[in-house]
Structures are given as structure tokens and as C-alpha cells.
Structure 1
Amino acid sequence: MVQEKVHHCNILVMALFGSTATLSSGVLSGFQLFDKNMFDLFDFVSSNILLPVGGILICIFVSRKLGDKQVIDEASNSGALGNQSLLKVFLFTVRYFAPAAILLVLLNGLNIIRL
């Protein structure tokens, strides 16, 4: 019963946010927040903030929480594929290069730096 009420609340919140994005080219065209209409604001937040932050969190999860052994076991079918050396390069990239590159993308998207 409680889960059903939470589900209905989620639907209501999503409908309200979706409606504002839909109406931003019509009835709500004059309403702006941070110099953007609601559609542009949702686009900016999702593509310039949420996607890079999610990418960094995935890199942290794969490199720190899963660990080398589990990633190599999963991606090499427990050693059957023989791609362990390539996976070590992958792990190095996910651990060091990818978070730094994604951070640069995030900072560029927020107009903190220019690339």
C-alpha cells in the first residue's frame, strides 16, 4: 500500500516536470530560470551535469568498488577469452584517464574552463 502511494507520487512529480518542459515553447515561453526556459534548463542539467557526474561515479565504482579481479573475471569470461592484458589497459584508463577527461568535460559544460 505504501509502495503504491510512493509510485503515484513519483508519477505526479514526473508529470509536473514533464509538463513544464513541454509547455516551455508555448504557454510557459515567457518563464525563464537561470536565463533558460524549462526545456533548455532540463537539457543543460542532464547533458552538462548529470551525465558527466554519472560517468565519474561509474569510473569510481568500476575501479574502486569492483576491483581489478572482478572486472577481469567478468570481462574475460573467467579467463576464457584471453584478453587480460587489454583489460589491464582498460582498468588503467577507467581508473586514471577517464575521470580526468570527464571532469574536463564537466568543467567545460559549466563554463568554468574553455577547451
Structure 2
Amino acid sequence: MLTNNHCPMLEIGDWVKGSLLSGELIIGYIESLSNLDGVAKVTIVKSDNKDIIGRTIALLTNQLKRLPAANVSNKEQILFLIDLALSTGDEEWFNELSSKLHSMTQLAKEVKA
């Protein structure tokens, strides 16, 4: 776990936003952290710079801010996050979201019955 002035703790797997030294904005998730260097390797999912989407780049932790955990409340949000889990190859997250979607679908069927 690393601390910086933007965020009390960063951990592997955290979703973060930040900006590159050249000014491009990024959103991605932390693949690895170096406690000694204050560097996080972030896989970029969204950016102003389309060329870096999908790449993993090293950023200083003080360039990053952890995004709050999403509070998913409807089917459309879950479907969007499932697509994101698929595009990032996060099987565990995909399974978790699929289970949540299945539970919502079952609950809707029970309410209609």
C-alpha cells in the first residue's frame, strides 16, 4: 500500500484517474506498485490519447487519484461493467457482476409472479 497526497492508500487492482506529464487524462487500474519508487503500473482503459488505451504505463503515484467504488443499482450499469470486465480480461469481476445480474433477474421474475 502506498500513500500520496491525493489518496490515503493505493493498492493493486484499484481504479484510478490521473494525468500524464504531457497533460493527457487517463482512467485505468493498477497492475503493480513499487513502494520504493512511488511508481504504479496502470493499464489505461480511457484517455484523451487514444494511442495509449489498452497499454500499461508507469506513473508516479502522486499523479493518481483512486476512484470511488461504484455503487451499481440497475441492470444497465451492470451490463456496462460486464463489458468493461470483459474488455479488461478481469474474470473474477466478470463472474461477480454476472452473479449480481442473475440475482437481479431472478428477483424481478419473483416480483412479477
- TM category (shorter chain) comes to under 0.3
Q: Determine which structure has the larger helix proportion and give its number.
A: 1
Q: Determine which structure has the larger strand proportion and give its number.
A: 2
RCO (CA 8 Å, sep 6+): is it higher in 1 or 2?
Answer: 1
- Normalising by structure 1, report the TM-score: 0.26
